[in-house]
Structures are given as C-alpha cells and as structure tokens.
Amino acid sequence: MTSQAADGGSPQRLAFLGPEGTFTEAALRRLPGSADAVRLPFTSVDAALDAVRTGGVDAAVVPIENSVEGGVSATLDALAGGAPLVVVGEVLVPVAFVLAARPGAALGGVTRVGSHPHALAQCRGWLSAHLPAARTVPALSTAAAAQALTAGDAPYDAVLCAEVAARTWGLDVLAEDVADNATAVTRFVVVARPGLVPEPTGADKTTLAASLAQDRAGALLELLEQFAARGVNLTRIESRPVGTELGRYSFSIDCEGHLSDPRVGEALMGLRRVCASVRFLGSYPRADGAAPSSPPGTSDADFTAAREWLSRMRAGESE
C-alpha cells in the first residue's frame, strides 16, 4: 500500500464499495495509513475499479470472497477484463451484524427487517428465534438498508447491518452479534494500477486469471498440473463464465507464494504456455500471515540447485 501513497502534500485517495457503513468501508479502515486517506464511496465494484483505472483514485477496496454484499463475481470479472489492475493487499473482516432501528424503537415492535439477501440468510436462525413473526425485505446492501431506514422511505422498520453502518446513519442497535455463524469473515482486496510488485514477505499470495485453451475437463487438469509440478498450493479457484458462451470458463485463482519465487514464476510460465490467456493480478502479503507449504523439492534452494545442475550438464560436465 505504501507504494501507492501520495508522497508530499496530497493525501492518498481510496475508493470503496459504498455507501458509508458497509463492511467494505470497515475493511478500508483496517488498512495502515487509511485514517489519513480520502475515502470515496462508489455504488458498484465496477465504478470503484474504473476510478482506479482512470487515475481518479490511488487504489480501491472491494470484496472478493464470501461477501455479505455479494460483490465477488463483479470483482473477479472486473479484474479479469478491461485495463490491467493488480491486487496489492488483502484484508479480512469478521462478519458481525447488528439489528438496528430508528432511535426509540423497541425489539418487540419490529415487524419487517430489511437487508441484503445474504445478510438476511446469515441471520435466519436468530430472526426465527427472536422475531418469529417478522417478515424480511431484501435491499441492495446492508448499508443501503440502514441509509433508507434513516431517510424514512424504507418498507421495513429495522435492518441487519454492520455496527459502523448503524452509527453512520444514526440508528439504535437493538441487538448485537445476530449472525448465526459467529466466526465468518469476508475477504477484501486492495486494487491498484500495475507498477512495482510489493516485495515478498515470506507469506504472500498471488492472484491470476486464466482461461482454458479448450472446453474440456482435461484442460483444467492440465492447468492444475502446472501448479502441482512445481509444488505450488492453491488457496482459491473459481470458475467464471467467459463472455457470451455458456460452457466456456476462465478461472480466478489464488496461489501461495510470490511472483518472484522460482516455483511461482515457473508455474506461471507453464500456465502462460498451456492456457488460452493468463493475466497476472498481483502478489501481496497474506492477511493471515501464514507461510506457504513447501513440498520437498520446491524450495528456492531446490530450484537454484536444479538450475545449476542443468547448467553443468549443458556445459558437458560429468555431475
């Protein structure tokens, strides 16, 4: 992130999937240095990323995985197409919902609860237990539901949202920790224009998008074997439909390690050869700090030793 920071006078400008009070804003606030940045909400992932592309902002924070806001596909597709962008960081945010209402409202009086459909689903158990008679009303996002409740034109009288959204829009919290699953997290990425790749930290991830040369199970196997042959572990793989045709896919992939690691570099070259297209989407420190697993024969030293041996053989030496 620091490489993206404006040096000197003007503060860094950071886009996020808004409105204010979303989990995405909570993710942005966890970034080092974000307190001094100008934070700009955008109404869609596409809009936020386009602002990065055009230079309107320095970087954008968008959800990529398991989001309560449902932003995953939009993010994956926006990264895979258009002018190149790269991920330079990731943030994990615990998913913690509150039930919020206009000041003065009581839990007993809630008859309709609004929120993003994913949030409604994730709190279904709590709602059944505590508000068995309440109806649910879908909204565009958890924060938008809070905003509409404050504005007075919402078809519901309470919302499920992040605590920060309740605070932002001046709502009272009627109940905390209402998600059925107390340990869920959402993963956000920080996206910037291509430039210097962040230095390896020893606990990095690399993200890429690859589309298969052929519409076959075998092509996916071949792709995975390019990783397996170098001992590179995948942490996420997701298929995305390609363009206009059902049954053609590209794959959005996160793997352990950094672009500068020999094993990651060789695996990426292998993909580049066997796939119809490969887009490198960034190497960056893992939010969880976990070091990659390194099967026998795949350490940097192993790659270096193998390369030196090959050089000796090519020079006609005996061993």
Residues 162-221 that bind a copy of itself (CB under 8 A): 181, 183-185, 187, 193-197, 213, 216-218, 220-221
Q: Which stretch binds a copy of itself (CB under 8 A): 33-41, 96-104, 167-175, 222-230?
A: 222-230
Check: CB of residue 222 under 8 Å from CB of residue 275.
no
- HSE of 16, CA atoms in CB hemisphere, 13 A: 26
Any contact of residue 224 with a copy of itself (CB under 8 A)? Answer: yes
Nearer to a copy of itself, 100 or 264 (CB): 264
Longest dimension (CA), the chain: 86
Shortest distance, position 184 Cβ to a copy of itself, whole Å: 5
Nearer to a copy of itself, 33 or 84 (CB): 84
Q: Which residues contact 318 (CB under 8 A, 6 or more apart)?
A: none
Q: Which stretch binds a copy of itself (CB under 8 A): 24-32, 98-106, 164-172, 246-254?
A: 246-254
Q: Element (H or E) spanning 71, and its range?
A: none
Stretch 68-97 residues interacting with a copy of itself (CB under 8 A): 70, 72-74, 83-84, 92
Stretch 4-63 residues interacting with a copy of itself (CB under 8 A): 43-46
Q: Three-state DSSP class for 149?
A: helix
Any contact of residue 127 with a copy of itself (CB under 8 A)? Answer: no
Stretch 267-306 residues interacting with a copy of itself (CB under 8 A): 268-270, 272-274, 279-280, 296-298, 302-303, 305-306
Stretch 137-166 residues interacting with a copy of itself (CB under 8 A): 137-140, 153
Check: CB of residue 99 under 8 Å from CB of residue 171.
no
State the alpha helices, DSSP H only, in 191-284: 217-228, 262-274
Q: Element (H or E) spanning 130, and its range?
A: helix 124-130
Nearer to a copy of itself, 107 or 269 (CB): 269
Any contact of residue 313 with a copy of itself (CB under 8 A)? Answer: yes
Q: Which residues contact 255 (CB under 8 A, 6 or more apart)?
A: 205, 206, 208, 227, 232, 233, 234, 235, 264, 267
CA gap 123, 119 in Å, rounded: 6
